[in-house]
């Protein structure tokens, strides 16, 4: 199939020290304590929740006057007190560099300016929707510690280890662990994601090229400022030339659906990608064996990333996505083990297979590392890492956030691959390929109907369906659809196609609504 090189880099904080830009007249008072903005970072904000923080200032002559440029949407600063308050919008998730300007009351006035960092994390409602931090109760499509029905225990320090682990681990025992996120000044790196609400965010079509037959080709609620990994320039490589991995991840908090694309392009208001996958975050979604996704293992990308809010909270409750340069190849494209569904083998002698879970040995001493790094290493011991793609050896990925300390993260590069071991595989090494994977029955669509197949323009109709033996469903003109019905308001005569999918394949059925 394909063998692509995963690249993911995460941002590190870069704070500008305050610079004195005021001018003093001949008779200006001598300041024994020059004015200084003491706040260099602002407390963490949560989208859609009330926020209250005050810029701290010392020196010069109070009272002060405050201005702030670049505040996240939904927040404002009180010009007299420096209090920043409001409710940040979900669209503001991420880190903003806010330029704060303070003027004192002396004559002539003294003005000081600095840039402070203000991070907004996804709302609690999004966390509940996506089940992103609930360990074994989560639906992270393989990145949970272990499936509830599995015989393995949650704490993998006592889980069985494959009898061939010494041989299998030899495939990268000479490598060292690396975080695949450094800190370029332009901030175009990392694997970002954005949270939207399809109640208010318009659906956008995605043209899928290379892997349309293995994709979930549906409209996506993409905001105009949707971040793409590597921030490729508009029309670069359009519509299908490879520029970077260019992953894009959109979480719809209304439906709890995650949309992921690979080799994503944007040009003249249109979108194109090599693949598109819809993930139902409320289910352990089963896609057809042999189908790729935005990652070579056929797994979602976003749930396996390290997020700063997890580290700040003190615990990561899921396995971590990582890459290796080579995976095992055969005549059918290569081998994979659960939870993977696809392979992109490059070598018949490689002992690594997509979906392989490794763990940091319980005996490895992490006490000398920072608290942040201990959170990451503890997750590697308890939940392990899942081989999700071909790329740099033993690189694991994270999401962009200006609060990362890159120098601190770089210390993880001292950990050798020999400190990891392979957890028992299902099936046993070397696993399945697209031909030998289990077969089964495809989904059945018992019905797919519209409440009315002929409506006037501006009217609403309800699409209703009844399926069996399916893992997840989507409608091409609507996107991922949980439940059994959805309301639509077509602007013109439209044919809607429902797709029901499981590990054995896909079934589809269409209905047309005529608009007068």
| Per-residue model confidence as pLDDT tens digits over 234-290 | 999 999 899 889 999 998 888 889 999 999 999 999 999 999 999 988 777 889 999
Quick one: pLDDT at residue 435?
Answer: 95
The CA–CA distances, whole Å, from 454 to 326, 458, 498 equal 55, 12, 19
| Per-residue model confidence as pLDDT tens digits over 219-244 | 999 998 888 998 889 999 999 899 88
Sheet holding 51-54, edge to edge: 51-54, 83-86, 75-77
Q: What is the CA radius of gyration of the chain?
A: 25
What is the rounded average pLDDT of the residues 411-428? Answer: 88
Asked whether 315 and 499 are in contact (CB, 8 A), the reply is no
Quick one: pLDDT at residue 19?
Answer: 32
- Where are any strands of DSSP class E within 253-398? 257-262, 265-267, 270-273, 275-280, 320-324, 357-360, 385-390, 395-396
What φ, ψ does residue 409 adopt, rounded to 5°?
-60, -35
Of 91-95, 107-111, 150-154, where does mean pLDDT reach its minimum?
Answer: 150-154
| Residue percentage of the chain with pLDDT more than 70 | 82
Quick one: pLDDT at residue 169?
Answer: 65
Quote the mean pLDDT of the chain.
83
6 or 312, higher pLDDT: 312
What is the rounded average pLDDT of the residues 141-147? Answer: 66
**Per-residue pLDDT band at 122 (split at 50, 70, 90):** low
Quick one: pLDDT at residue 197?
Answer: 84
Quick one: pLDDT at residue 9?
Answer: 29
Of 12-21, 135-144, 156-165, 218-227, where does mean pLDDT reach its minimum?
Answer: 12-21
Q: Nearest to residue 53, comparing CAs of 64, 43, 40?
A: 43
| 181 alpha carbon, distance to own chain's centre | 14
- Between CA 293 and CA 211 the distance in angstroms is 9
| Per-residue model confidence as pLDDT tens digits over 506-516 | 999 999 999 99
Whether the per-residue pLDDT at 312 is higher than 50: the answer is yes
Asked whether 296 and 153 are in contact (CB, 8 A), the reply is no
Of 78-92, 151-165, 459-473, where does mean pLDDT reach its minimum?
Answer: 151-165
| Per-residue model confidence as pLDDT tens digits over 444-467 | 999 999 999 999 999 999 999 999
| Per-residue model confidence as pLDDT tens digits over 367-401 | 999 999 999 999 999 888 999 999 888 999 888 88
Quick one: pLDDT at residue 309?
Answer: 80
Quick one: pLDDT at residue 117?
Answer: 81
- Between CA 354 and CA 197 the distance in angstroms is 33
Whether the per-residue pLDDT at 14 is higher than 70: the answer is no
197 or 130, higher pLDDT: 197
| Per-residue model confidence as pLDDT tens digits over 32-83 | 458 888 877 787 777 777 788 899 899 999 999 999 999 999 999 999 999 9
Quick one: pLDDT at residue 165?
Answer: 63
**Per-residue pLDDT band at 95 (split at 50, 70, 90):** confident
Q: What share of the chain is helix, strand, coil (3-state, %, to 5)?
A: 10, 30, 55
């Amino acid at each position: 199939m394909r063998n692509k090189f995963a690249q993911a880099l995460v941002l590190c904080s870069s704070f500008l020290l305050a610079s004195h830009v005021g001018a003093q007249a001949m008779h200006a008072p001598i300041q024994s304590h020059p004015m200084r903005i003491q706040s260099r970072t602002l407390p963490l904000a949560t989208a859609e929740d009330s926020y209250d923080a005050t810029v701290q200032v010392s020196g010069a002559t109070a009272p002060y006057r405050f201005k702030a440029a670049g505040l996240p949407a939904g927040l404002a600063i009180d010009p007299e007190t420096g209090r920043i308050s409001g409710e940040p919008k979900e669209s503001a998730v991420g880190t903003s560099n806010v330029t704060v300007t303070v003027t004192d009351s002396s004559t002539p006035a003294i003005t000081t300016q600095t840039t402070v960092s203000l991070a907004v994390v996804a709302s609690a409602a999004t966390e509940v929707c996506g089940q992103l931090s609930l360990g074994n109760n989560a639906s992270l499509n393989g990145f949970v510690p272990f499936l509830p029905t599995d015989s393995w225990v949650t704490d993998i320090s006592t889980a069985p280890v494959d009898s061939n682990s010494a041989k299998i681990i030899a495939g990268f025992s000479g490598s060292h662990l690396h975080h695949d996120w450094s800190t370029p000044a332009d901030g175009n790196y990392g694997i970002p994601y954005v949270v939207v609400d399809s109640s208010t965010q318009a659906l956008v079509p995605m043209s899928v090229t290379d892997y349309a037959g293995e994709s979930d080709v549906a409209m996506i609620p993409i905001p105009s400022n949707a971040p793409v990994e590597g921030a490729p320039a508009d029309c670069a490589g359009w519509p299908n030339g490879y520029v970077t991995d260019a992953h894009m991840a959109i979480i719809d908090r209304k439906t709890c659906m995650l949309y992921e694309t690979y080799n994503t392009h944007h040009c003249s208001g249109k979108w194109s990608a090599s693949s598109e996958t819809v993930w139902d975050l409320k289910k352990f979604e089963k896609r057809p064996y042999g189908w790729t996704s935005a990652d070579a293992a056929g797994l979602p990308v976003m749930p396996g990333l390290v997020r700063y809010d997890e580290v700040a909270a003190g615990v990561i409750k899921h396995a971590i996505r990582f890459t290796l340069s080579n995976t095992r190849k055969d005549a059918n494209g290569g081998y994979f083990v659960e939870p993977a569904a696809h392979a992109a083998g490059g070598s018949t002698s490689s002992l690594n297979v997509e979906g392989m879970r490794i763990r940091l040995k319980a005996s490895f001493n992490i006490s000398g590392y920072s608290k942040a790094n201990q959170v990451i290493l503890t997750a590697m011991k308890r939940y392990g890492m899942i081989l999700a793609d071909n790329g740099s050896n033993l690189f694991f990925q994270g999401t962009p956030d200006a609060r990362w300390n890159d120098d601190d993260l770089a210390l993880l590069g001292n950990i050798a691959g020999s400190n990891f071991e392979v957890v028992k595989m299902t099936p046993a090494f070397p696993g399945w390929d697209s031909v030998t994977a289990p077969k089964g029955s495809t989904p059945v669509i018992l019905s797919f109907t519209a409440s009315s197949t002929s409506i006037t323009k501006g009217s609403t109709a309800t699409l209703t369906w009844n399926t069996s033996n399916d893992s997840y469903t989507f409608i091409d003109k609507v996107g991922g659809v949980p439940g059994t019905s959805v309301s639509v308001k077509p602007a013109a005569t439209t044919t809607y196609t429902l797709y029901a999918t499981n590990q054995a394949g896909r079934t589809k059925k269409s209905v047309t609504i005529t608009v007068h």
